[in-house]
Amino acid sequence: MCRPPKEDECTAAHARLFCPTLVRAVLRWLGRLGVPLCHRGDVAGQVWLNAWESWPRFDPKRGKPERWLNAITVHAASHYHERAQHRREELVDLIEVLDPAPDAAAAMECDITRHDIIDAVNELDPELRFVLVAHDLNGISMAKIAEDAELPLSTLYKRRTKAIGALRDVIRLRESMEISTQGVGLQ
């Protein structure tokens, strides 16, 4: 199949033009033309869109396809800088942020929960309570507690596990008692 010479030249130019090497070249050209890195991708996208849209008008006899693409890049960068002069940032007043502190009802609920947990911890066996309070509430390392209490570390970990289980049991018992008390009050 024989193609007309212009069509062969356009096909060859198309193959040279739309390749990864020229994608990087366009980004380099934009950098040299003063387009900031944060906007280069957008402007390069505009360059390729303009190139694709104007491809039917490309004439390979007038020059190399790279030179034609460079002219489109210069034109896009020029328009970018033109628009940048008209860009204005409007500063607004500070946005009023809601107070992050809890409201009175939430604070009361938090206090009630904290007191309930303290009461539940106080119901634990003293050996179990000691490990739980020292490690989980006061933040003392288990190794330090074991050294001070002159107990093996494994014993303390076992006591802490038992303490957490016992604390869960106490809290569940209290919750079930509250539910049963509320159920009696509704009748």
CB-based contacts of 141, cutoff 8 Å, min separation 6? 135
**Residue 20: C-alpha distances to residues 23, 24, 39, 94 (Å):** 5, 7, 19, 45
Lowest mean pLDDT among 51-60, 89-98, 103-112: 89-98
Domains and CATH numbers, the chain: 5-84 (1.10.1740), 104-186 (1.10.10.10)
Q: Which among 28, 38, 34 has a CA at the least distance from the CA of 79?
A: 34
pTM of the model: 0.42
- The 10s digit of each residue's pLDDT in 6-16 is 567 777 777 77
Q: Which among 127, 186, 122 has a CA at the least distance from the CA of 155?
A: 127
Which residue's structure tokens are 């093996």?
152
